[in-house]
Structure 1
Amino acid sequence: MIRDDVKAAQIAAMKAGDKGTVAATRLIQAAIKNRDIELRTAAAPADDDVVVTEVLQKMIKQRRESIDLYRKGNREELAAAEEAEVAVIERFLPQQMSEDEAKAAIDAIATEIGAASVKDMGRVMAEVKARHAGKMDMSKASALVKARLAG
């Protein structure tokens, strides 16, 4: 499980004296813990790795936004710190699908459910998320679905 990988990486980083990785893994664990607390009220618990992957993807998205803002503000040292955190977080994400694999998966789903126009985008995206959450960036998937259904 990803949760265990994060804990093991934190212990290894502490032993190696890698302060950057220790700080990033602590942030990851705190975000996962917050998500666990949010899900206590949910009816059915989701697959643990899917939940952890969603948390990690959200953390990366936040940091990439921060990097853009820091670069616009000429704060390169802060952008570099955020990039270091992104690198640590990405180590724990499952391998992402390539663009060609994503297109093939989207084509298969669209064909399977009979999606013919952009009006069917919600149904296709719901199925893509159900089948490929964690393996595909949903913002990129949304653009690919839109292109598939429009063209």
Structure 2
Amino acid sequence: MLKLQIQSDMKTAMKAGDKTRLGVIRLMLAAIKQREIDERIELDDAQVLAVLDKMVKQRRDSITQYSGAGREDLAEIERFETEVIQSYLPRALTDDELTTLIDAAMASTQASAMSDMGKVMGLLKPQIQGRADMGSVSARVKQRLGG
């Protein structure tokens, strides 16, 4: 279980005195716990990945904003947090792997128009969660469907 691994890493960071890493791990566990409380469920690995993926996306947005405002000190903190969070996500897909998955999803759903985009994305999302940026995947599918 991914959640147990994160909890174990928190203990390791505490023992090692790695306060910056510990802070990020605590943020991750807080986000996971918040979702569990909100939905009154125990999250499985796929749902934990979705939470972590969302956290990475938020940090990428923050990095862009901080860099644009000339606050490289804050952008650097966000980059570190992104690295720590990404260490728990699966290996990112290459462009070729992503293209193959998109092709397979389009073939299995027989997608040919923009109205089929929801079917394709619904099939792709569980396969690529945490392994690729959903926004860029969505743009690629849209382009392939002629949108």
Confirm or deny a common fold (TM above 0.5): yes
1:128-147 pair list within 5 angstroms = 128-147=124-143
Deviations 1:19-44 (A, max 9, x none): 1100000000000001111222xxxx
Provide the residue aligned with 2:51 in structure 1: 55
1:33-44 pair list within 5 angstroms = 33-40=33-40
For residues 29 and 46 of structure 1, the distance between their equivalents in structure 2, rounded to whole angstroms, comes to: 13
1:23-102 pair list within 5 angstroms = 23-40=23-40, 48-102=44-98
Moved over 2 A (4+): 130-137
Shift of 1:61: 1.1
AA in 1 matched with 2:71: R
Of 121-130 and 77-86, deviating more is 121-130
Shift of 1:96: 2.3
For residues 42 and 126 of structure 2, the distance between their equivalents in structure 1, rounded to whole angstroms, comes to: 11
Give the aligned length: 147
State whether residues 107 and 148 of structure 1, in contact with CA within 8 Å, keep that contact through their aligned partners in structure 2. no
For residues 74 and 127 of structure 2, the distance between their equivalents in structure 1, rounded to whole angstroms, comes to: 36
State whether residues 115 and 124 of structure 1, in contact with CA within 8 Å, keep that contact through their aligned partners in structure 2. yes
For residues 130 and 75 of structure 2, the distance between their equivalents in structure 1, rounded to whole angstroms, comes to: 25
Shift of 1:47: 6.4
For residues 97 and 107 of structure 1, the distance between their equivalents in structure 2, rounded to whole angstroms, comes to: 14
Structure 1: which 5+ residue stretches go unaligned? none
TM (normalized to structure 2)? 0.90
State whether residues 21 and 88 of structure 1, in contact with CA within 8 Å, keep that contact through their aligned partners in structure 2. yes
Structure 2: which 5+ residue stretches go unaligned? none
Provide the residue aligned with 2:116 in structure 1: 120
For residues 15 and 126 of structure 1, the distance between their equivalents in structure 2, rounded to whole angstroms, comes to: 42
